[in-house]
Amino acid sequence: MAVNFYKKLLKLVFIGTGTIRHWRGDYEKAVRTLEQAVHLEPNNPQLHWKLGCIYLKSQNIEKSLYHLEHAVKLGNRDPLYVLWLSNAQNFSGNITVASNLVEEVIEKLPDSAEAWYLKGKYLIEQGEKEEGLKCLDKSIELDPRNIEVWNEIGCFYLANNQTMLALESFRKGLEIKSKETSLLFNLGLTYLKLEDYEHALFYLEKAKKYNLKNVKLYNALGLCYSKLNRLNLAEEIYQETLKLFPEDVESLSNLAAIKAQKGLYLQSLILYEKILKIDPYDSTILNNTAWCLEKLNRLDEAISYYYRALAREPENSIFRLNLSECLYKKGYFGEAIEHLEKIISSEKENSKAWQILGNIYDSMKLHAKAVDCFNKALGLE
């Protein structure tokens, strides 16, 4: 009887296109050049602004804030500098300060599409979804070719399970810029959510073709290949992911699941053991490790790992069911019966539990009890 096999599914993560368009490429070289320029012209607001933008792109928030604050102060609160400072404040977690700065820009420039975009984004982050969406719509009215806003609107709809509207928004963005990787990625994720794996794969592969290197993209591709039963391609993409992100637990877990699907239980086990060195308390990985050990007929070790998984999630009936079946295989009938009765007490129609219990009673020559359990497994009583 097959053991239910748990594997972590891809969590949908929506990446934005980002609002930074300046100084793409060699950040370190750009930083060195601008730091030298700022040293020579310490009161030049444009130099501080450009340097602040670079630091924000490279996620050095502290230095980004320092230079953007100088740009705002030296530049007489130029709306462009204020907007970038708002963006940096939001990244640092100061959303109230960020919102106030955006309001300052809107007061000066009521037709600033970028300001309305940021305001909408902040409102959504604070849970004011309807007002936030109105601001995003206003931003699109002012600048209908802003792909960042189309991306943000699409992500909003997707996060709120309005997948058709999400598809429409991402497509509109791609009509403007057909090779924008974040839009391709998010459109692929939308199809993935719809379980339309062929279309999902089409857009995700395009995002990869145009050089998006993102661990979630690689995991999404692997999931598509797996769902389409292209296990070799799934394995290849996870191997490629781990070359770029060797410690990524999701990729290790997905690769282990593929190995298990192909019957390579020892290889799968090695990967799960590697994950447990990173996170020894992940209940799903503990369960999967036990499952591999059971497949390798290392039953005592498997039982130990099933108990560890169950200790993390005592109410997880699948973990308890897997443990019960392993105990039965090992011949620990009494212990297995206790766990199965616990499952049945709260899940009276759990056919798998009744089936295993019937098998145990049959092994114990208690045939009447076994028949009763088998009937309940079939829903005959």
Give kind and range of the element (H or E) at residue 279.
none
pLDDT of res. 23: 36
**What SS3 class is residue 380?**
coil
Which domains does the chain show, CATH number per domain?
A: 282-381 (1.25.40.10)
CA-CA distance, 282 to 279, in Å (whole number)? 6
Give kind and range of the element (H or E) at residue 85.
helix 79-91
CA-CA distance, 284 to 147, in Å (whole number)? 39
How far is CA 157 from its chain centroid? 17
Answer yes or no: are the C-beta atoms of 158 and 131 closer than 8 Å. no
pLDDT of res. 26: 63
- Buried-state track 68-95, b at ≥16 Cβ within 10 A, e below 16: bbbbbebbebbbbbbbbbbbbbbeeeeb
CA-CA distance, 71 to 2, in Å (whole number)? 64
CA-CA distance, 118 to 37, in Å (whole number)? 30
pLDDT tens digits for the chain (381 residues)? 333 343 333 333 333 333 233 334 467 888 889 999 999 999 999 999 999 999 998 889 999 999 999 999 999 999 999 999 999 999 999 999 999 999 999 999 999 999 999 999 999 999 999 999 999 999 999 999 999 999 999 999 999 999 999 999 999 999 999 999 999 999 999 999 999 999 999 999 999 999 998 899 999 999 999 999 999 999 999 999 999 999 899 999 999 999 999 999 999 999 999 999 999 999 999 999 999 999 999 999 999 999 999 999 999 999 999 999 999 999 999 999 999 999 999 999 999 999 999 999 999 999 999 999 999 999 986
Q: Which residues contact 146 (CB under 8 A, 6 or more apart)?
A: 113, 114, 117, 139, 140
CA-CA distance, 160 to 142, in Å (whole number)? 25
- Among the listed residues 192, 205, 190, 204, the one whose alpha carbon sits nearest the alpha carbon of residue 150: 190
Q: How many CB atoms lie within 10 A of CB 279?
A: 10
What the block records as the tokens of 184 is: 């391709």
